[in-house]
A and B are shown apart, each in its own frame.
Chain A
Amino acid sequence: QQQVKQSPQSLIVQKGGISIINCAYENTAFDYFPWYQQFPGKGPALLIAIRPDVSEKKEGRFTISFNKSAKQFSLHIMDSQPGDSATYFCAARSNFGNEKLTFGTGTRLTIIP
């Protein structure tokens, strides 16, 4: 059972364009929603994160939009650059227990010149 659904699986965006990756979840006990960026041969690194009491969070070119009623959240990368080419994972964390992260299936983003 996939608790966090992520789309698209892959995405090609022209340099300077906007990259948008979407995630949806079912578990209302999730209370923290991070996005991780992973380059080949590296571990994931936290990019930006949001809590459900906020509808939007922006850090530089990266923005998370969060819709609590729809149980959806998305990552927007503005002015996408070739260096943004990586795999992006959304995740969600339950607010009790081991604080484990449940990951989406990942989106391979390629920024073309």
Chain B
Amino acid sequence: EADIYQTPRYLVIGTGKKITLECSQTMGHDKMYWYQQDPGMELHLIHYSYGVNSTEKGDLSSESTVSRIRTEHFPLTLESARPSHTSQYLCASKSNEYNEQFFGPGTRLTVL
């Protein structure tokens, strides 16, 4: 079982609220990723990080922002949530030495 954690697991909020989705891993991985996944659909990369102080946007345009101040922590923030942000958000991490990306359990976000 991978040591990558996401909180909260479920979140229901109203439009206009600021939210932060937490992701942390204890494996010391340099590379971390955020994917967006609608139920039963493919995953789309929205952000990634090579390491501390490194963040890049992914393939899918997203109004969210990320930060990487510590190796183990990669939070995602939405300044003003909208119903179009309703989705599942999956965090993943990967070491430089091995190929496998480890995924967290995801946060299911619903914006009313």
Binding site for B on A (CB under 8 A): 32, 34, 36, 41-46, 49, 87, 89, 93, 98-106, 108
**Majority SS at the chain A contact face:** strand
Q: Is A46 touching B101 in the complex (CB atoms < 8 A)? A: yes
Q: Is A89 touching B43 in the complex (CB atoms < 8 A)? A: yes
Contacts of B35-60 to chain A: CB distance below 8 A: 40-45, 48, 50, 56, 58-59
Binding site for A on B (CB under 8 A): 2, 31, 33, 40-45, 48, 50, 56, 58-59, 90, 92, 94, 99-106
Q: A98-B48, A98-B56 are in contact. Are A43 and B106 (CB under 8 A)?
A: yes
Contacts of B94 in A (CB 8 A): 99
Q: A98-B31, A108-B40 are in contact. Are A44 and B90 (CB under 8 A)?
A: yes
Among residues of B, the one whose C-beta sits closest to the C-beta of A4 is B42
Contacts of A105 in B (CB 8 A): 41-42
New A-B contacts (12) at CB < 8 Å, excluding given A44-B90, A98-B48: A34-B101, A43-B92, A43-B103, A46-B100, A46-B101, A49-B100, A98-B31, A98-B50, A100-B48, A101-B45, A103-B42, A105-B42
Q: Is A87 touching B101 in the complex (CB atoms < 8 A)? A: no
Contacts of A42 in B (CB 8 A): 105-106
In the complex, what distance in Å separates the CA atom of A43 from the CA atom of B105?
Answer: 4
Nearest 4 Cβ contacts at the A-B interface: A43-B103, A103-B42, A103-B43, A105-B42
Contacts of B101 in A (CB 8 A): 34, 46, 101
In the complex, what distance in Å separates the CA atom of A108 from the CA atom of B41?
Answer: 10
In the complex, what distance in Å separates the CA atom of A100 from the CA atom of B46?
Answer: 11
Among residues of B, the one whose C-beta sits closest to the C-beta of A104 is B42
In the complex, what distance in Å separates the CA atom of A106 from the CA atom of B38?
Answer: 12
Contacts of B59 in A (CB 8 A): 100, 102
Among residues of A, the one whose C-beta sits closest to the C-beta of B108 is A41
Q: Could you pull out 14 A-B pairs where Cβ atoms are within 8 angstroms?
A: A32-B99, A34-B99, A34-B101, A36-B103, A41-B105, A42-B105, A44-B43, A44-B90, A46-B102, A87-B40, A100-B45, A103-B44, A105-B42, A108-B40
**Nearest CB in chain A: distance from B33 CB, A:** 7
